[in-house]
Amino acid sequence: MKKINDEDINILEAEMLNCYLYHAGDTGTLNEQEEFSADEIMFIKKCMVDEISLRGEAQLSQLHELNLLLNHIAQLKEELLGLDDKQKNKHSVIGYKRILYAYLALDFDQHVFQHPKLQRRINGIKNVKKRYEGNLYEKREIIYRVLRETAKIKGRWKCVTAAINDVYPTLEKELKAFDQNWIKNRIAENTGKIAELQDALENNKKRYEGSCDIKIQDRTYINYIKSLEEENREFRRALNAHNVADILKKKMAFNSNDQEQTLLNHVRNCPELLAKIIEKDSK
């Protein structure tokens, strides 16, 4: 997220209000909608507080957290007043991103996503999470840790390029070790699944011994086994490849034919990290 404006913040606030209306039930005459007046927002938040007070915070932990996030939205709007455009966008991105991710983490059974712009943004977040599930966040923490620890020892850098150039040899080594370990674990997991599926397939064959038909369930087992075996072949090729990205492509986060540039682009969009590793007067 490089740019967040007032409309984006209002859309996210409306999504949270609609989420409450969807799950709460009786709130009078208010229904789910794209925009809410200031009076309507106050009314919905009062309904939330009353419901939490009546039934207890422990019973309504999701709604309690949702209410806190709505308060964070209101606080963010206040903080943005009086800031110049550059400061406003930087603060908006940090605050909006934190609130949006916290909202998604509440994991309501049903979100509303009334606005297509917000829906596209949320779908993008979910797709990235699904694509890199099991390695994105761990690899990101390696990058952040190495940069923070090096900055503490050597001091802050003047720019992001200098920071990445300085730590890249260490990052390259640590990320490669992570990739190797992650791939080996996936091979082991797949091998275990294959053994379980083969046992299930054999049990099915014994159960229907003498039948000429291939059962639908058997075909499902066979196809799944084949897909896992193919994935393991791909993983083994990756273990022996000079560059994992040549084989696994987008299955591994931060892997590309120019990994250093990929890391540079990512870190440039991490304002909270930059505040800890780049000199304050630098651009």
User: Which residue has tokens 């490849």?
Assistant: 241
Q: Can you give the pLDDT at residue 29?
A: 61
pLDDT < 50 stretches in the chain: 58-59
Q: Structure tokens of 65?
A: 């957290």
CA distance linking residue 101 with residue 81, whole number of Å: 23
CA distance linking residue 222 with residue 98, whole number of Å: 44
Q: Can you give the pLDDT at residue 217?
A: 61
CA distance linking residue 101 with residue 12, whole number of Å: 11
b/e for 173-205, b at 16 or more Cβ within 10 A? ebbeebbeebbeebbeebeeebeebeebbeeee
CA distance linking residue 63 with residue 59, whole number of Å: 9
Q: Can you give the pLDDT at residue 253?
A: 79
Q: Can you give the pLDDT at residue 120?
A: 85
Q: pTM value?
A: 0.56
Q: Can you give the pLDDT at residue 30?
A: 63
CA end-to-end span of the chain, whole Å? 19
pLDDT tens, residue by residue, 106-141: 777 556 666 888 888 888 777 666 555 567 788 889
CA 149 from chain center: how many Å?
A: 24
Q: Structure tokens of 247?
A: 């084989």
Q: What is the DSSP secondary structure assignment for residue 97, as one 8-state letter?
A: H
Q: Are 66 and 19 in contact (CB under 8 A)?
A: yes
CA distance linking residue 158 with residue 280, whole number of Å: 9
